[in-house]
Each structure stands twice: as C-alpha cells, then as structure tokens.
Amino acid sequence: MDGAQHQDMLPPPGDIAQLAESLFRREAGKLVSVMTRLFGVTRLQLAEDVVQEALVRALRTWPYYGVPRNPAAWIMQTAKHLALDVIRRETIFNGKQPDIAAAMTPPQPDAAVDEAPLFDSEIKDDRLRMMFACCHPAIPPESQAALALKTLCGFSTAEIAGAFLTSEAAAAKRLTRARQKLNELCIPFEIPSGEALTARLDAVLQTLYLLFNEGYKASRGENLIREELCHEATQLAMLLAEHPVGNQPRTHALVALMLFNGARLPARVDEGGNILLLEVQDRSQWNRAMIHRGIVHLGLSAAGDTLSVYHLQAGIAACHCTAANYASTDWPRILSLYDQLVRIDPSPVALLNRAVAVAQVQGPRAGIAALHAIRKSRRLDAYYLLYAVLGEFEAQLNDCRAAAKHFRKALQQIQLKSEQLFLTKKLRQLETTCTID
C-alpha cells in the first residue's frame, strides 16, 4: 500500500485526537495504578508522567500509522516501554530491574488484542490498592479526593480546581501535599486489613461519593452533568463491592445510590442542556437495567445491623426510581427516611432536602418553617438552593414578591450557567403573572 492510499484509509486527525483523549480518560487510572505497583507509591509522579507521555505518543503516532486494533493495550504497552527506559537510566532501580523488566515483557505481535482479559484481575487489584493509598488517614480529606481525581480518573489540575471551587494553584498544592505524605510516610501500595481497613474503607467510600456527586451535579462550568465522572465513580464502587475487603453493606448501599441516580441522568437535562426537574422528566428515558441492578445492591446492603447515610439516601432514590410517575411518589416514606437521615447526618444540605419532603407531605408553609429553622444556623447563607427552594415555596403560596426576592438572591450565587437560565426563566414567569416591584 502506498502512502496516499494509507492516508486515505486513516480517520480524520480530529477523530483520532478525540479517541485518544477518551481512551486516556478511561484508561489513565488503570495505567497509573499498574505503574505505581511497579515503581512504588513514592514514585507516583513518575508513574503519572509516563502515562501522560504514552498519550502524547498516541497523538503523534496514530494520525500517521492508524489506530491499532486494541488502542487501550497499545497505550498500556507504550507506557511500559517508557517506564522501562526510565528505570534503566536510574541506578536506584538497578536491583529491581530484572523483576520489573519481566513484568514489562511485550506480548507477541498477535497477542495485543487478547492481553486485556488476562491482565484484568491484576489491574483491578492495582486500582483498589491505589484507592486505599489515596485515602490514607495521614492525607487530609480534601487532598485525598484531589489525589483520587488525579490518579484514578485522570483529571487535570484545572479540572480538580473546578470540582472543588478553588484555584489551580490551590489544587496543585493539595496534590503536592498528598504526594509528599505518600513519600514521607512510605505509605504501602496495598489493601489494608484488620482495624485499619474499617477507617480506610469509610474514606474510600466518601471519596467515591464526592466524585459521583461532582459528576451528577457539577459545581461550575457550562454543563450541569459530567456523565463520565458518574460512570467512573460507579465503576470504582462496583469494583470495590466485588472484592472481599469491600463486600460490605455500606459499599453495596453506595453502589445502589449511584445506580439509582445514574439511571436518571439521561432525563435530567433537555436537548439544550437545561435542567429538568423530577416532576417533568420523561421517565421512559430512565435506565431500567441500572435501576434493577440498584435494587439488587440495595438488597445486599440489608445484611448486618448498621444503617449508614448511604442506605438512607439509596432508599430515598429507590422511592423516586420505582414510582410510576411523579404523582405516585411515596413522599411520606421519603420524609420518614429523611427524618432518619438527619439524625445520623444533620448537615444543612440534608436538612434542606428534608424541607422539600416536608412541603410535599404537609404543604409549602410547613416547608418554609423547616427552612427557617435551617437559616438560623446561617450555615447555608451562601448556598443558592436555599433561596431557590424558598422562592418555589413562596410561589406556591402565590406570594410573588417574596418568591421573586428569593429567586434574585439565588441568582446572585449560582455558578452554573444552566441553573442560571432555569431560575431566570422562573423569575420571568413570575413577572408576567404578578405585579412585582
């Protein structure tokens, strides 16, 4: 085949770049985990650099030679070769070089396509080890989540900054501190056991919960939903639940919660990316297979006698997912679950959600009373949803002036464009039906 014919058969460079970026997003966590096992946790930065360079090689090579039959295996093998080049240059690895080189032996020419299934169980264990390393108690919680986003999900520093509503410099500092702790304490790349497992498992679950929530409702930016982050968090949680150390009721409860909420993602926004409330969502778009799997995991979570926040939140999500329509939603059951939840976790956001359930069962005045009790603590003064919900309750009571006041207050604090558009529309509807000063 001559060069012209070869070029004609290649996909457009833009398509190749998009494929490479997508693969990197999916595979980065696996690659970094494997490289970290080989290099050790103290060389995490090196592992990340090698994986990043493998993506660069793909972007340089594929436009000219075509996309390989198994792109993921190609990136993995390229990362291995790059890693081997590094360790050959570093005397510190001389003693380990034979073992590492053996682990990186390239497959036979026709074996690339079949390599992934044989490597699958090893990759799973490496990803679990990485999860537990990121969530070591010596690392501050905010740095744990940042490190997990970086190593497990392939997030850039800018994306991590956006997820935590902070500057890139602050996000970079969190990552630096986390890596320093890994180095200073020589944190082992292992799955803990005994008493250490319980505390570390709670940290891992909390981190996965944060990751999913950031995808389910982004903190800022153009898009309300980041499905790839929800998918990644769900896959990691399911991976944890399948392993003996993570096969715990609270893990299954978290998986159930993610599946229930993830099943509703296709109906949460319209074609323009604008938010759709639960009452107007097209339930035929909900993923029934995910809901069914969620019910299975919710059943598995019933083992034992400990009730976690994940159990209660999953129960609430199940009530929504199993209702045939909005009118048939079992709000008394949901309110009962929220009553239990706020006894375990009296966070302002949980209390706010409970107030919505109160209004559904007892009317908007009762909902406003529940919200005023939260406002006394002043912990939600800067949270736009407090004012958005207050505005909705006032609108239901036909107090247009009070509703508009709260909607305007909410608009001052919203970071997400789709939610700004939603509340602006609500405010305009009020102005057309009422006389508002």
pLDDT in tens, 95-104: 555 555 555 5
- Residue 248's pLDDT is 93
Q: Sorting pLDDT into bands at 50, 70 and 90, what band is 36? A: confident
Which CA distances in Å does 164 have to 140, 149, 159, 371, 430? 14, 11, 9, 26, 33
Residue 409 belongs to domain spanning? 382-437
The answer to whether position 436 is within a domain reads yes
d(CA 10, CA 17): 12
CA distance 282 to 267: 6
Report the candidate in 224, 98, 94, 228 with the shortest Cα–Cα distance to residue 152: 228
CA separation for the pair 351, 408 (Å, rounded): 22
Distance CA 226, CA 320 (A): 21
Q: DSSP labels for 408-424?
A: HHHHTT--BHHHHHHHH
Q: Is residue 414 part of a domain?
A: yes
The percentage of residues in the chain with a pLDDT greater than 90, rounded to a whole number, is 30
> Does residue 316 fall inside a structural domain?
no
Length, in residues, of the chain: 437
Number of domains in the chain: 1
Report the predicted TM-score, pTM, of the whole model to 2 decimal places: 0.77
162-212 pLDDT tens trace: 666 678 899 999 999 888 888 888 888 888 877 778 878 988 998 899 888
* Whole-number pLDDT of residue 108: 43
pLDDT at residue number 353: 94
Which amino acid makes up residue 209? Y
Tokens of 427: 């405010």
Q: Give tens-digit pLDDT for 119-158.
A: 455 667 888 888 888 888 888 887 888 888 888 877 788 8
Which segments of 154-194 does DSSP mark as H helices, in order? 157-163, 168-185
Helix 384-396 × helix 417-433 angle, to 10°? 30
Separation of alpha carbons 195 and 200, rounded Å: 9
Mean pLDDT of 344-361: 92
In angstroms, the CA 33 to CA 125 distance is 9
394 belongs to a structural domain? yes
* Residues 410/388, Cβ–Cβ less than 8 Å: yes
Q: What is the pLDDT of residue 25?
A: 66
What is the distance between the alpha carbons of residues 354 and 398, in angstroms, rounded to a whole number?
A: 22
In a domain, 90, yes or no: no
Residue 25 lies in a domain: no
Between residues 420 and 435, which one has the greater pLDDT? 420
Q: State residue 55's pLDDT score.
A: 82
Whether the Cβ atoms of residue 325 and residue 278 lie closer than 8 Å to each other: no
Q: Amino acid identity of 1?
A: M
DSSP string, 81-113: HHHHHHHHH-GGGGGGHHHHHHHTPPPPTT-HH
Q: What is the rounded CA–CA span in Å between residue 373 and residue 241?
A: 38
| Domain assignment of residue 415, yes or no | yes
CA distance 220 to 164: 9
Between vectors from CA 127 to CA 122 and to CA 133, what angle results, nearest 5°?
125
Dig out the tokens for 147 from the structure: 């490190």
* Alpha-carbon gap, residue 105 to 85, rounded angstroms: 13
Whether 419 maps to a domain, the answer reads yes
Task: Supply φ then ψ for residue 275, to 5 degrees.
Answer: -65, 140
Burial of 54: CB neighbours in 10 Å, binned 0-12, 13-18, 19+ = buried
pLDDT of residue 329: 96
Q: Which of residues 377 and 357 earns the better pLDDT score? A: 357
